[in-house]
Structure 1
Amino acid sequence: MGLTKPNHDLRRDLKSAALALEDAAQDMFRMAKQYGDTELLAAMEKIERLHVEADRLNGYADEVKDGRILRAATE
């Protein structure tokens, strides 16, 4: 059984948000490499948090796909 439209939209939105976080992390890493070690280490902590949040959103998207998270249709 496929996903309902609301659940399909939710999954797509979660995947899109996760991708945006991953892209931001890559951009931050590219910029941080131009600075010194101290700044790079500080940026790496923030980048790690972005990756953790992206992983969490991807996990939620997987739960939507598996039917463990459902979005009710709007009226």
Structure 2
Amino acid sequence: MSLNKPNQELRRDLLGIAADLKWTGVDLLQIAETLSLAGHESEAQSVLRMSMVLLNDEEKLQRVLHEVAMGRIVRERGE
């Protein structure tokens, strides 16, 4: 399905947010590993939980992006 300009912009905006969530989650995973190796296990576990929240949200946003691409979610032209 071809997207109109407002929906193309919506998809592009959501893709950017999804990418930010993913890479922030990945960065937090690396920080958690560093903390764990330094013997800060409780802090590492806290950072790991934050990372998992972001990565799960990125997956949810990918499903929303699919709905935008399929035309189930649309942006009105006036927005």
Fold-level match, TM-score > 0.5? yes
8 Å contact kept, 2:31–2:47: no
Displacement of 1:60 in angstroms is: 0.9
Task: Give 3-state SS (helix, strand or coil) of 2:34's partner.
Answer: coil
Q: Give distance in 2, aligned partners of 1:42 and 1:31.
A: 11
1:23 lines up with 2:27 in the alignment: no
Task: Give 3-state SS (helix, strand or coil) of 1:49's partner.
Answer: helix
Give TM-score, length-normalised by structure 2. Answer: 0.85
Displacement of 1:21 in angstroms is: 0.6
The Cα offsets for residues 12-56 of structure 1, whole Å up to 9 and x where unpaired, read as 111110110111111111122121222221111111110111112
Greater relative contact order structure (CA < 8 Å, 6+ sep): 1
Give structure 1 regions of 4+ aligned residues with deviation exceeding 6 angstroms. Answer: none
Q: Which runs of 5+ in 2 are unaligned?
A: none
Q: Which runs of 5+ in 1 are unaligned?
A: none
